[in-house]
Structure 1
């Protein structure tokens, strides 16, 4: 008997699955629609019925990675109301996901893919889900905020602050936006350093300790 035809939704999920596998094996620069077609069992020209271009595949993979990361983190922080505890839990959930999905982490937070420009109208929404939690933590008092004259010099510009508040839809002051940005930068740096091996092989305990150290200096 002939194999039943797959639905469009099934084919879209298969395209993503093949894309994730290629991403893990070859990196973003190695994505190949010809290989996608081969794994789907369609002729090379037939793959364009399901994904228009390599850039479209990259965009779908970005949306998928951002959403997968946010889903995992939000599951772990659900119900945690104390801001510092919530932020620590968020940080460790991000690290856990990144270590389990290094290729997807690299797509999100690694070097830009040459020749590809992510469409903001599709990737900003999924990408800002976690950032919103970071700014909300600052608004709830999780981080030390700039207050001394020395800190004043390091505050972010009014346009940056206004854009952050508007895009993230969190009521936060300029010092809180600065505090959240500092902490978020430290968090991404610590996780990326471990995922990309910048400190050589790290034991799980050392990786967790590195993350704690990077975050702790920003918590109030």
Structure 2
């Protein structure tokens, strides 16, 4: 696996980077397996979740759309649910745009494989080359593992039974939490994360799935406010 990353774009990665990317990929494969199994277990043909994962490639939105359909909702309602969940990708796209090359093809491909995880990896390092390498390493790993897991889960769906009872979708949040915890070192970051988590948990019973995550971004307001309070005031020296 290490030799795969010894290409020009990935030469800036360390073994720890590859290990972290692989960990997220394994979690994505497990959750993808759950998605494929739930889809075919709910009556969809095998090709539906496979094509959906290739074309849409947005785990939360795919689960939301699938849930709407299985609950008897219309395809339009399923699409709207997916769009609401993916609304966060618009600011994500602006954030990651300067991490990619100016090539139109790379930006198009990069936008398709953009995920929360790939953005987080891209922002881990301020060095442009490492940031770009981390973004593509995570994005491609997730794309391959998610679609492989979906395909396997879709084929196994009819014999696996109700995949939701296995709690496979808990693997992804667990892995992300393990990756995020080391970044919660200073009090400002801890406060922002705590506020966002509290808001998200309180609103979860009352808002559609995915919306509490967006609202929890209010935690960033506290982070920005504390930053302004701690910045020293500068005074202009009088002109001689």
Give the TM-score of the pair, scaled to structure 1: 0.27
Question: Normalized per residue, which structure has more helix?
Answer: 2
Q: Which has the higher contact order (CA 8 A, sep 6+)?
A: 2
TM-score w.r.t. length of structure 2: 0.25
